[in-house]
Structure 1
Amino acid sequence: MSESFMTTRERILLLLKKTDFPLTAKEIMQITGIRKEQEVYDHIYHLALSSKHKNYVVILYPPKCQSCGSEISLEKPKRPSRCPKCKSERVSPPKFLIREKD
């Protein structure tokens, strides 16, 4: 199927399946032309929900605090504004990959 006929979610799915390394929401925005970071996170969340019934799994590389080094756990994909431990705003964004289930 041509990418011009794919939905935004299908394009994100294809991109994250094909990439060799994890991508941030901003990188996904640049490649797909999406304008809002939250829209990328919403699509990834729904891809993760539907992965329970599909043959792929969404891999989340959690955000890390660049000050204290702690990993920040997330219930839903998003970019945290501050570290819950040290309150630093120097937090790396989460990264995502999609791979086939074993």
Structure 2
Amino acid sequence: MPEEFLTTRERILLLLRSSDFPLSAKEIMHLTGVRKEQEVYEHIYHLSLSSKHKNYVVIVYPPKCESCGYEIVLDKPKRPSKCPRCKSERISQPKFLIRGKGDE
């Protein structure tokens, strides 16, 4: 199907499935034309919910504090504002990939 007929969520799914490396929400925004970072996180959240019934899995590379190295565990995809351990605002962005279930 031509890309202009795909939904935003389908474009994000195809992008993350075909990417050779994890992508941040800002990179996904740039590559898909989405205007808001929060919208990317919402689409990834819904893709992860759908993955339970589909043939893919959403891989999340969690954000880390650049000051103390703490890896921040997320319930939903988002960009945390502060480290829960040291309160630093120097946080890396979470990154995402999508792979088929059973792929190595």
Distance across 1 between alignment mates of 2:73 and 2:36:
22
Q: CA RMSD in A?
A: 0.2
Q: Identity of paired residues, percent?
A: 77
For residues 23-38 of structure 1, what are the structure 2 equivalents within 5 Å?
23-38=23-38
- Per the alignment, residue 92 of structure 1 pairs with 92
Secondary structure of the structure 1 residue equivalent to 2:15 = helix
Query: TM-score, length-normalised on structure 2?
Result: 0.98
Cα deviation code 1:33-60 (max 9, x no counterpart): 1000000000000000000000000000
Tell me, yes or no, if structure 1 residue 11 matches structure 2 residue 23: no
Query: TM-score, length-normalised on structure 1?
Result: 1.00
Q: Which runs of 5+ in 1 are unaligned?
A: none
Distance across 1 between alignment mates of 2:35 and 2:83:
26
Distance across 2 between alignment mates of 1:21 and 1:89:
25
Distance across 2 between alignment mates of 1:2 and 1:17:
17
Q: Which runs of 5+ in 2 are unaligned?
A: none
Give the Å deviation of 1:68: 0.0
Give the Å deviation of 1:98: 0.0
Give the Å deviation of 1:78: 0.0
